Structure 1
Amino acid sequence: MDHAYRVEINRILQQVEKGTKAEDIARNSYPHIEKLQWLSAEEGNRETASAFFQEGNNLEMHVAPVYRKQKLTGYLRFDYHRSLVDTNGLMLRTQLSLAALFAMLLGVLLYLRKHLLKPFDRVRKLPGELAKGHWKGIVKEEKSRYAHDFLLGIGQLKDSLDTSRRRQLELEKEKKKLLLSLSHDIKTPLNTIQLYARALEEHLYTDEAQNVHAAHQIQEKGKEIEHYVEEIMKQSRHDILDIQVQNSEFYLKELIDKAVHAYKEPLRLRRMELVVKPYENLLLKGDLERSFEVVENIMENALKYGDGRRIEISCYEEDYCQLIRIFNTGNTVSDTEFHHIFESFFRASNSEGKQGNGLGLYICREIMRRMNGEIFAEKEADGMAFLLVFPY
């Protein structure tokens, strides 16, 4: 039941008791009060008093005495209406709404359980098994669009790891065979060297021509051993650079966005400024993923060896090629070291105490060349820059 009219009556009574006249009260502020009448306590006309207390309409009526300084001054008659609210109906509608909301929430939870939680629960141990190399099964694909891409990626990762492991085993077998073969081949010239060296040491040759001949044989067999060592180094280098490049086409923006997305947060945490100058989104030839590996290696070097102030990426065209220039502030290498930075296993003096193996830039150059591109380095007064050259 709506009792708002009582509140309005009490408010009007308070105003009148404070001295406000009944006719001065703003009735539009009290929507439940339809009519307001005043009867003074000094009114002596009985007919007037009788009419005052008599119900004469379809509205409900309430008469309240008005006191001022504990003295009765008159009566106020309120003709009002009250809004009836169907409490039972409201309660029923509320319960039905809550039931519908609960049913919808339950449906959402069941849907998430079936299409999101269950698929991920089935593969929650898979990353650990893959890391240990124990997983030999097949990653079952899911129809759920939430889990499909994730499980598809896990399946591709598993296949890639399997292929890498098989290739690694094959390379290890080939390497052992090569080392055994070269070890055997090295023994022959090594024995010859030892034989001639002993003869010279013990002065077995009395003729000068025989001594010269022995020294010449030692030199020749030394060159033969050097050749075998070069073969070992060549084979080791070939294993390291067994990189598959899938040349196709991609837009420059894809590569730049990929780099910005990967390094925006790390650079923000280091309070380093990343500047990407405006560029034209041209179509390039090459392998997008391998190109990002090159950019990634250069960015990592900038984080390692830069001074932590700024990295700047700019793109421009030159001689029918797209050039991407990545510059970082910091101390540069010496002129002597600068000419060797793209050599394998080379580490400059500024890399002392920092992790690395001296292969990063060497691999970058090999990747760029396999994409028919090139990479160059530039020294500036306040930093280093690397230029990546992509063909159209």
Structure 2
Amino acid sequence: MVVRFQPNNKIDVITINRIVKEVSNNWNTLETGHYKNYAYPFSVLSLADTLLYQSSPDAVVFIKDALERGDTIMNIDLNDTIVGKVIITTSGEVAFKTFQKDLALLILVFFSIFTLCSGLYFMHLHKRIIRPFRDLEEFAKEIANGNLDFTLKLTENNIFGAFTQSFDIMREQLKVAKHQEFLANQSKKELVASLSHDIKTPVTSIKLTSELLIVTAKDDKIKNKLNTIYQKAEQINLLVTDLFHTTLNDLDKLSVTPIDTYSSILEAVLKEADCYDKITMLMIPECMICVDPLRLNQVVANIIYNSYKYANTAISVQFELKGSFLEIKIQDFGKGVEEEELPLLFNKFYRGKNAATESGSGLGLYICKKLVEQMEGEIYCSNNEQGFLTLLYLKLA
């Protein structure tokens, strides 16, 4: 069957025989035959050297060329009859090309696998190291900026897992410490603000009383003593004012603790605030009110002292039950305030035109409103035909 072999080539005889056998088996269906991916390209010729099938463009199709190149030519026998020839390209040049193709394919497969493995490894590296490290970096920035609510996510197989947990514990402890520091500072500020404001009330009473006694005293020695009392009270007032100004921004946070008590305490509160005996008080309805006695004292004293300072007239106080509140009407008979100033009276640091010549911080009514609201009450100011009216609503228990 063998027409010719190139003796110097190392030919895979088994592969050649398989090609011949496959061609023989598919002789009548060469175009539709199923051939394996053999290492050698081949072409099939009829007895008249007509090309019947070519497995690859690299396959030699002419017997003359095959003889010159040293390729293998085999006869195809069917029932002991030669029906054609198969030229198997076994020369070194084509084999080298085939080797190049196979090598290129192998390299392509290798690099594809390498790229895939590298990508998978990078994803694993990013998940295990890079992303947790960036999370730690972001966590450190947030903590440095004071955001102690920023948490680190604990994920499985996190190489920084132990560190992440430790950092989160540190964050919690810092948050607790910061909150405790805030509470301590808050308590201190509340104490300073409360004491400074409370001290001003009795000091003002001392000033008013001593001023009244100076006017009525006839003995010069007593007047001198009273002047000394007045000056020292004024000195204390200035010192307390300085202390008060250091906590102006924290006055919103004064603590208020309402309790249920009898409305009869209002008589004592008003009498304590009435240094000049200018208050005329009507009957107080018997009821239970929900107030903080200390803060209520501050509110009433502030309203009465404002009346002394700006109106200096008699003061009428009336009471009436209205729904779930006890209404207190505090009426003086002065000139009141400008209508356009009424909405501004409860603003922080606001002082009306009639206060230009009087000392003060512009916080009295502002504090009153805050304290009353924390006792779930209400306070309003208005002008009327008689003068200036303050309405105070205290919640019923």
TM-score computed with the length of structure 1 as normaliser? 0.38
Larger radius of gyration: 2
TM-score computed with the length of structure 2 as normaliser? 0.38
